[in-house]
């Protein structure tokens, strides 16, 4: 059984259900995407949303992936940065309760813990206005004293690419210590904004995860053609196509699985993160590519049926049994 260490923006998700796209248009947000906002914009946004009911969950793409891996039964660590405030304390306590054994949150006495204000439309789509706060201060200096001994997989979220040097250093350290590198492309608008950098680092990555929009942003191609193009860069390419399932290509072979059926889609927040966590867990157990895709699809199907990332104990028990039955 391989172990995983993840790097990402340690964010608290503030989840808000809205009745239409009108508020997204008013705020200038890309539906289904992520927009970074500064502290002044964050304060203005929360003034605009005053009085609305929100739910608070731990979030961040890398953190959600690690949460899924840990709750399936894997040994997982997470590296990020939070402030000494209520949200920072909430983040650390929740992640430990959720089974992440090793929480390496670099504390800082100033600033705020990052918050992703998450708008959920009736179709279940999620749109983020993200104030990174101190999460965006994670730097190369934070990696240098860390020992990655005992870990085999390094998971990087694409949202980290606002700091190219940090991502390069993490990949280099992972290679130096013999870890495999998994990368999720994060969001189509992030890919568009950092296209050249993603193309630079892909050859250094073992497994790349992209949804249909991200794959198109990277290659300009349809999902199947994009899958082949991405696989030319890295060892394994994975492209998720929503209700049509997921595909992987490696060593000249393409593998496909259907989407796992669901009753209703409530919130697609963390769907890709849980897919990556399930895939990585099956990979860590030495299972086939089809099994990795299948567990990823099942984990994604479960998380889109709830608001946020809190699955019941009964659902986690079912997921662990499902994982153990895969071959």
Residue 296: its pLDDT value, please?
98
Tell me the C-alpha to C-alpha distance, in Å, between residue 303 and each of 15, 99, 112, 125, 275.
14, 17, 28, 13, 9
Residue 107: its pLDDT value, please?
63
Cα torsion for 68, 173, 187, 138, to the nearest 10°?
90
Domain hosting residue 259, numbered range: 4-9+60-111+137-325
The answer to the question of residue 25 being in a domain is no
The answer to the question of residue 98 being in a domain is yes
Note the pTM of the prediction, 2 decimals.
0.90
The answer to the question of residue 128 being in a domain is no
For the chain, counts of helices (H) and of strands (E): 13, 14
pLDDT digits (tens, 9 = 90+) for 49-88: 999 999 999 888 999 999 999 999 999 999 999 999 999 9
Our count of domains for the chain comes to 1
pLDDT digits (tens, 9 = 90+) for 217-260: 999 999 999 999 999 999 999 999 998 999 999 999 999 999 99
Q: Which two tokens stand for residue 170?
A: 């993490």
Q: Mean pLDDT lowest for which of 114-128, 139-153, 160-174, 286-300?
A: 139-153
The answer to the question of residue 289 being in a domain is yes
The answer to the question of residue 95 being in a domain is yes
Tell me the C-alpha to C-alpha distance, in Å, between residue 323 and each of 55, 242, 295.
29, 21, 6
Q: Nearest Cα to 197, choosing from 233, 224, 231?
A: 233
Q: Which two tokens stand for residue 277?
A: 């966590």
Q: How sure is the predictor about 266, in pLDDT bands with cuts at 50, 70 and 90?
A: confident
Q: Which two tokens stand for residue 159?
A: 């949202």
* CATH code of 82's domain: 3.40.1190.20
CA distance 204 to 35: 27
The answer to the question of residue 31 being in a domain is no
Let me know if 325 is exposed, middle or buried by CB neighbors in 10 A (0-12, 13-18, 19+): exposed
Q: CB of 40 within 8 A of CB of 142?
A: no
Residue 25: its pLDDT value, please?
92
Q: CB of 18 within 8 A of CB of 119?
A: yes
The answer to the question of residue 17 being in a domain is no
Q: How sure is the predictor about 1, in pLDDT bands with cuts at 50, 70 and 90?
A: confident
The answer to the question of residue 19 being in a domain is no
């Amino acid at each position: 059984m391989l172990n995983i260490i993840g790097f990402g923006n340690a964010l608290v998700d503030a989840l808000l259900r809205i009745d239409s796209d009108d508020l997204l248009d008013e705020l200038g947000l890309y539906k289904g995407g992520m927009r970074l906002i500064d502290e002044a914009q964050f304060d203005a946004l929360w003034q605009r949303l005053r009085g609305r009911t929100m739910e608070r969950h731990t979030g961040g793409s890398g953190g959600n992936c690690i949460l899924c891996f840990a709750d399936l039964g894997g040994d997982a660590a997470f590296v990020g940065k939070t402030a000494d405030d209520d949200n920072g304390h909430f983040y650390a306590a929740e992640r430990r309760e959720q089974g992440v054994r090793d929480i390496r949150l670099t504390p800082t006495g100033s600033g705020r813990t990052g918050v992703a204000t998450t708008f959920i439309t009736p179709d279940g789509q999620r749109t983020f206005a993200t104030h990174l706060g101190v999460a965006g201060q994670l730097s190369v200096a934070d990696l240098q004293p860390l020992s990655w001994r005992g870990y085999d997989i390094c998971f990087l979220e694409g949202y980290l690419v606002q700091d190219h040097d940090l991502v390069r250093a993490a990949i280099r350290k992972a290679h130096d210590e013999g870890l495999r590198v998994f990368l999720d492309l994060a969001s189509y608008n992030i890919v568009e904004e950092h296209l050249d950098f993603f193309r630079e680092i892909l050859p250094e990555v073992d497994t790349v995860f992209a949804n249909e929009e991200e794959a198109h942003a990277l290659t300009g191609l349809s999902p199947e053609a994009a899958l082949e193009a991405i696989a030319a860069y890295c060892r394994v390419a994975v492209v998720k196509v929503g209700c049509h399932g997921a595909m992987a290509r490696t060593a000249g072979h393409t593998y496909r699985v259907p989407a796992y059926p669901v009753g209703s889609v409530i919130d697609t927040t963390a769907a890709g993160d849980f897919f990556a966590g399930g895939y990585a867990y099956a990979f860590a157990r030495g299972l086939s590519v089809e099994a990795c895709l299948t567990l990823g699809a099942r984990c994604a199907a479960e998380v889109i049926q709830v608001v946020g990332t809190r699955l019941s104990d009964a659902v986690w028990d079912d997921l662990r049994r499902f994982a153990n039955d895969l071959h």
